[in-house]
């Protein structure tokens, strides 16, 4: 093989890679645009103005199904008391709170016992779904609807399963222990179940970033935006994910993810599939995909719902250190789920889930990150070497950066028009600047973190990389 032939092969390979990267990024952004348009249409035509909390209570107080709140907690001493207070204060006729201490190494258990006057009690599990040992259950002398389960460490899925085993209500709500639901959020989530004929399996809500907000006594006193850039960038990301992607996916029947930070489920269906899987770091995605697969294979009529009016506030990583672990874990969990349920991919047996939703996860979580990151390097290099028209590199920049910025700004406009959770014009401007700046550095760093998730998946690294917490109110 001559040197010229080698050069031709190398050149053709570079051109092929460049075109592949461009096509993948173009498709991802076109899907993002379609989701934004569908979400705008849904908000304009399908979602009616929200009733106030008082009207909801008067209408549904006698119809509301009992709910068990399950809050897995691991090393949450900074925010656990505030979070539990918020759960107990939710405006709902009948709900129990089960906090599962998953073998915390800090003083999570001690703070719970002191704050809520807990004492050891006996409580039998209805279903044993966890794999680790239950040490002790505790009841509260002050709050009869509070139960704390102290168990050996088994990670979040195992903790959620332990709580699910103690639940006795028709509905269960799994929520992160470092999250706060707005007071009427539980009633809004339960409302669709009151009108349901048995088809509804789960309801998801919007997750918002609590960094910069004022939290006192377990309730959100003031909504604000963090001064630091990293939490502000995440505000934009969460808006895109929940106000466009989830709304559009729910409308098209392709909702594949109900956030682990907040989700309301029919308990019997979760027990049917054995609860959460223990052998994945992406238990929330895996659960919903598993539910789709189980119900499709049984040929049952079902649906998932998403209600953007339900807002759950969560503490996001305050710095890049911590964000790296979170994003790598999300990426690894997506890959684990895709491999485990690969038979669903492009399989007409699973309807739009197999033909549309699963391929979208493949595009977004498998092909997307490496293609975009590689494209930033390959397309300019190919243009400089004369292998591609320079306008191709310019077009890639436009599609990945300028177009991506437009989608973020469009989502922000949708939020301001429909939900208006941004407290002031000043805060809106700060988020707007974050929507512009995130594409210059932050987005590329996140792509690198996701590549690290691919590496962890290939190494079969099952360790849980924790995210440092500062506690509510810290900035």
**pLDDT digits 0-9 by tens, 228-267:** 899 999 999 998 888 899 999 999 999 999 988 889 999 9
For residue 214 the two structure tokens come to: 């004022």
**Considering only CA atoms, which of 181, 120, 136, 467 is closest in space to residue 311?**
181
Whether 62 shows a pLDDT value over 70: the answer reads no
**β-bridge mates for residue 231, sequence order:** none
pLDDT band, very low/low/confident/very high, at 140 (cuts 50, 70, 90): very high
List helix spans (H) across 167-307: 185-194, 229-239, 246-252, 267-272, 283-297
User: What average pLDDT does the segment 58-85 reach?
Assistant: 84
**pLDDT digits 0-9 by tens, 96-138:** 999 999 999 999 999 999 999 999 999 999 989 999 999 999 9
pTM (predicted TM-score): 0.91
> Burial, 5: exposed, middle or buried (Cβ in 10 Å; 0-12, 13-18, 19+)?
exposed
Average pLDDT over the chain, rounded to an integer: 87
User: What average pLDDT does the segment 277-284 reach?
Assistant: 88
CA dist., res. 328 & res. 175, Å (int): 21
Listed in sequence order, the residues at least 6 apart from 292 whose beta carbon sits closer than 8 Å to its beta carbon are 256, 344, 350, 353, 357
| Residue reference for tokens 């294979």 | 297
**Considering only CA atoms, which of 327, 357, 375, 402 is closest in space to residue 24?**
375
Between 37 and 183, whose confidence is greater? 37
Q: Could you tell me what percent of the chain has a pLDDT over 70? A: 91
Whether 217 shows a pLDDT value over 60: the answer reads yes
For residue 366 the two structure tokens come to: 């498998």
pLDDT at 138: 96
**pLDDT digits 0-9 by tens, 11-37:** 888 889 999 999 999 999 999 999 999
The side-by-side arrangement of strands in the sheet containing 134-140 is 118-121, 134-140, 146-151, 95-102, 67-73, 171-175, 262-266, 200-209, 303-314, 179-181
**pLDDT digits 0-9 by tens, 326-342:** 999 999 999 999 999 99
Between 44 and 447, whose confidence is greater? 447
């Amino acid at each position: 093989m001559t040197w010229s032939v080698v050069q031709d092969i190398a050149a053709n390979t570079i051109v092929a890679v460049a075109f592949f990267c461009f096509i993948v990024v173009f498709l991802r952004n076109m899907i993002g645009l379609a989701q934004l348009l569908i979400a705008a249409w849904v908000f304009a035509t399908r979602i009616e103005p929200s009733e106030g909390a008082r009207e909801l209570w008067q209408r549904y107080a006698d119809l509301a199904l009992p709910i068990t709140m399950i809050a897995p907690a691991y090393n949450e001493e900074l925010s656990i008391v505030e979070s539990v207070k918020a759960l107990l204060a939710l405006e709902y006729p009948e709900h129990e709170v089960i906090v599962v201490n998953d073998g915390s190494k800090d003083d999570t258990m001690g703070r719970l016992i002191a704050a809520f006057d807990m004492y050891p009690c006996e409580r039998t599990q209805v279903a044993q779904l966890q794999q680790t040992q239950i040490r002790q259950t505790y009841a509260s002398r002050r709050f009869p609807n509070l139960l704390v389960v102290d168990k050996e460490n088994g990670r979040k899925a195992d903790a959620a399963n332990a709580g699910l085993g103690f639940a006795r209500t028709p509905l269960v709500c799994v929520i992160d222990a470092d999250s706060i639901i707005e007071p009427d959020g539980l009633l809004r989530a339960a409302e669709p179940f009151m009108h349901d004929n048995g088809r509804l399996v789960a309801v998801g809500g919007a997750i918002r970033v609590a960094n910069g907000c004022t939290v006192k006594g377990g309730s959100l006193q003031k909504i604000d935006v963090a001064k630091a850039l990293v939490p502000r960038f995440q505000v934009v990301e969460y808006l895109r994910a929940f106000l466009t992607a989830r709304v559009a996916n729910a409308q098209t029947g392709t909702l594949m993810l109900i956030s682990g930070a907040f989700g309301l489920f029919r308990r019997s269906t979760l027990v049917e599939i054995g609860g959460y899987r223990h052998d994945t770091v992406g238990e929330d995605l895996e659960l919903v995909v598993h539910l789709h697969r189980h119900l499709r294979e049984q040929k049952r009529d079902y649906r998932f719902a998403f209600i953007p009016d339900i807002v759950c506030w969560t503490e996001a990583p305050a710095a890049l250190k911590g964000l790296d672990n979170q994003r790598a874990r999300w990426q690894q969990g997506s890959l684990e789920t895709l491999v485990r349920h690969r038979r669903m991919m492009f399989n007409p047996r699973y309807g739009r889930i197999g033909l549309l939703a699963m391929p979208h996860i493949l595009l977004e979580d498998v092909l997307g990150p490496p293609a975009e990151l590689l494209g930033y390097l390959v397309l300019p290099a190919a243009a400089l070497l004369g292998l591609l028209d320079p306008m191709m590199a310019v077009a890639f920049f436009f599609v990945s950066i300028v177009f991506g910025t437009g989608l973020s700004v469009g989502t922000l406009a949708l939020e301001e028009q429909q939900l208006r959770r941004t407290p002031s014009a000043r805060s809106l401007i700060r988020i707007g600047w974050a929507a512009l700046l995130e594409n210059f550095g932050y987005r590329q760093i996140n792509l690198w973190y996701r590549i690290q998730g691919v590496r962890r998946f290939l190494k079969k690294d099952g360790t849980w990389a924790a995210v440092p917490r500062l506690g509510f109110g810290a900035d």
